[in-house]
Amino acid sequence: MQRYQLLSQDEIHMIHENSLRIMENVGIVFTYQPAKEIFARAGAKVDGDLVYFPRQLVERELKNVPSSFTMYARNPKKNVEISTENTAYVGPYGSPFVRDLDHGRRSGTLEDFKNIVKICDVLKNIDIQSHISCEPCDVDVDIRAKVMVYNTLKYSDKPLMGSVYGYEKSKQCIEMAAMVFGGMDAIRDKPVIASIPCTLTPLSYDDNMAGAIIAYAETGQPQLVNSLSIAGMTTPTTLAGLVSLQNAEILAGIVLAQCVNPGAPIVYSASGSNAEMSNGMLAIGSPEDALVSLVNGQLAKFYNIPCRISGALTDSKIMDSQAAYESAVTLMMAQMAGGNFILHAAGIIETYNTISYEKLIIDNEIIGYLKRINQGVRVDEETLAYDVIKEVGPRGLFLTHEHTIENFRDEFYRPTLSDRVPFGQWSAEGGIPIEQKANTKWKQILADYGEHTLPADLDADLKKYAEKR
């Protein structure tokens, strides 16, 4: 599928040059001493906590970033190739609250976390499990990251993500994932767990995120070096200014990872949007969010690096029409921008704050539509169907033709949720709204889930590791 080009290559180059000016003359704050030492050895100028990046250093390290890699799953059939061409869809990440039609909005619990992992494991259009499927607020923060990794490994055999809360917690999550694949030596050239270290905008990294970048780079695990920038609040109001600053931050994190381990797998990750200036809140269902996604997609292609773009985003507080249209637009823009790792692809409402059980199901349907669109239209003698048209002729019937029987299953997307029955049948069956159908479906998924598939001895070892303080 051809990707949408919002800016010309000259304009993309101008943003790149502006980012390099920022990195070289304004600098990026790093307070983590090991990171500053790594930068100094690589040729950066370090003045206290400010790191200044020479152009040559940035351009040299960008050349080391691979344009593709494979994320390995516990089930080899679910391995996912991450590249500048493919698109992988990833579950919700980081919300402290959950909501469903039965119980409304509430703080997330470990039970909610397990439920969301199970649902995302069953949903065919979700390719990768996130780390914080929701925040399990009833789990001690000291072991929360490990408990989330343990339960993700236990209840899903898809690729997964891990913690970015500092060097040590990151290493613990990596070690847990490695236990499933034969140990740390076995995963050094085999990415099995990804992370998303985030900048402290504007133009800084805290100790936790810098430590996480080093931990994942040392072990050859992929990371989505990320910036969440807010135009008018943490960056200039102009979107070109936002993207320039955001790009400088991301490039600094990429340089750190490559200085630690040249060739470490990276996903260029950016999720900038605008502030709602009447109240100072971040807006993620806005057209500006979609525009920034399009530019970020072009920048990542300019660097020939896979890119993460956020998916089905909305500022709506419930699963309603606003949630539907904002999510459809932002998810569609993510794909049109050439996003390769679509985080928050399902479930998000209330500006990242809440996961909706029903929206997980509805967004999965939207992803199914987009995956079909991304396949495009095959044009050859078989699909042109001239012989079939000639045989059936004017006023003929294609419905019963052998060509139709042979092709419709592959040619047409079959909805898993959307209603296409006649009105009379829909009415006779109760006229059930789509949100209620989604409510019934997620409950059925959990009822039918069955037992987890981790071997008992491995399950016991992982549980013991996760609960150790």
Model pLDDT for residues 390-407, shown as the tens digit of each residue: 999 999 999 999 999 999
pLDDT tier for residue 119 given thresholds of 50, 70 and 90? very high
Contact (Cβ atoms closer than 8 angstroms) between residue 298 and residue 13: no
Mean pLDDT of the chain: 96
Strands 160-161 and 193-194: parallel
Residue type, 6: L
pLDDT exceeds cutoff 90 at 453: no
pLDDT exceeds cutoff 70 at 11: yes
Question: Mean pLDDT, to the nearest integer, of 306-317?
Answer: 95
Using CA atoms, how far apart are residues 390 and 392, in angstroms rounded to an integer? 6
Question: Mean pLDDT, to the nearest integer, of 425-438?
Answer: 96
pLDDT exceeds cutoff 80 at 184: yes
Question: Mean pLDDT, to the nearest integer, of 339-348?
Answer: 96
Q: What is the pLDDT of residue 247?
A: 97
Q: In what order do the strands lie in the sheet with 28-30?
A: 45-47, 50-52, 28-30, 204-205
pLDDT tier for residue 3 given thresholds of 50, 70 and 90? confident
Using CA atoms, how far apart are residues 161 and 148, in angstroms rounded to an integer? 10
Using CA atoms, how far apart are residues 159 and 193, in angstroms rounded to an integer? 7
Strands 266-270 and 223-227: parallel
Question: Mean pLDDT, to the nearest integer, of 26-43?
Answer: 98
Q: What is the pLDDT of residue 469?
A: 79
Q: State how far Cα 291 lies from the chain centre.
A: 18
In sign, the C-alpha dihedral spanning 292, 293, 296, 302 is negative
Least confident of 54-58, 120-124, 314-318, 449-453: 449-453
Q: What is the pLDDT of residue 280?
A: 87
pLDDT tier for residue 309 given thresholds of 50, 70 and 90? very high
pTM, two decimals, is 0.94
Q: What is the pLDDT of residue 271?
A: 87
Q: Is 136 exposed, middle or buried (0-12, 13-18, 19+ CB in 10 A)?
A: buried
- What's the count of helices (H) and strands (E) in the chain, helices before strands? 18, 20
pLDDT exceeds cutoff 70 at 462: yes
Q: What is the pLDDT of residue 452?
A: 85
pLDDT exceeds cutoff 80 at 88: yes
The enclosing H or E element of 421 equals none
pLDDT exceeds cutoff 80 at 325: yes
Question: Mean pLDDT, to the nearest integer, of 91-112?
Answer: 97
- Tokens 């390290």 correspond to what residue? 61
How many C-beta neighbours within 10 Å does residue 449 have? 15
pLDDT tier for residue 253 given thresholds of 50, 70 and 90? very high
Question: Mean pLDDT, to the nearest integer, of 438-456?
Answer: 94
Q: In what order do the strands lie in the sheet with 281-283?
A: 230-231, 273-276, 281-283
Span 156-178, pLDDT tens digits: 999 999 999 999 999 999 999 99
Q: What is the pLDDT of residue 1?
A: 61
The enclosing H or E element of 151 equals helix 144-155
Q: Tell me the residue length of the chain.
A: 469
Q: What percent of the chain has pLDDT over 70?
A: 100
Task: Count how many Cα atoms sit within 13 Å of the Cα of residue 389 in the half-sphere of its side chain.
Answer: 6
Torsion of the alpha carbons at 320, 325, 331 and 337, rounded to the nearest 10 = -160
How many C-beta neighbours within 10 Å does residue 347 have? 34
Q: Which is nearest to 231 in space by CA: 221, 222, 223, 241? A: 241
